[in-house]
Structure 1
């Protein structure tokens, strides 16, 4: 960036994913740009992977009289060739993100078909759930049940929601994991 003529005082960096729109470094950088400036990025996917977000940024820059340059892809929006390449690479970045999401979802679906259940194992096993419900039905308070069975209150509440228990003698519709 320095070799491209960017003044060290104007360097901004985010440690977050390029897929996020709400990055503090990006916000600060965009806020400092003035008419006649050029926003220089190392790579277009560092600015963002969503085509719509990239286009919004560049449109905003155009309205403010700020040019855009990507060093790796040799994109410079001050000319028509650069504007075309910007849209092309933005589309490819978004396509890559969609492919990653599809692969992850396909992997999760395959794991479910093989019988693998995601998430961490339940803190309270089925036998203990029966004992907890019996204690609550017998009139024990949630606080005493938590102490007796050594479970956190939030864990107890989550378990009761999952089982559909809403009070002594009241069983609602259990929440089903999907």
Structure 2
């Protein structure tokens, strides 16, 4: 019997958005690699005009995992039509990128600016939340969420849950 040992190939790269090296294997990647892709996805999804909405959809579609593909495509279709009909322009200015090892998620936080055809530009805090898996050395979006406010990391969600539990206890004691 002959056994062949093969070592997994590790590719070391320099992400365009970061100053430190990153690595990627066939099924995994470094924190900096995932942060770089999270930043790129937030920039892509956060900067949309009636003229670029189809381009954004075209770029993001091949990177979606099968488990979220249809839901994301449906949401993009609805939003794309609204952006075109209302002539809305969205821009996103990122302020920080955070990787959370516990959840294997990347959070991109910044300011979102939305302007309709005849309205003033409105600014709000915005977070993008991504679970980025690796398949054959390529990033795959396994989860996407975006919301107003700061990132909802596990630590933040646990703090909110404790506050809610304490609030309920106080109400029950009354």
TM-score bracket relative to the smaller structure: under 0.3
Bigger share in helix? 1
Which structure has more relative contact order (CA 8 Å, sep 6+)? It is 2
If you compute each CA radius of gyration, which structure gives the higher value, 1 or 2? 1
Q: Please give the TM-score of this superposition, normalised by the length of structure 2.
A: 0.24
Bigger share in strand? 2
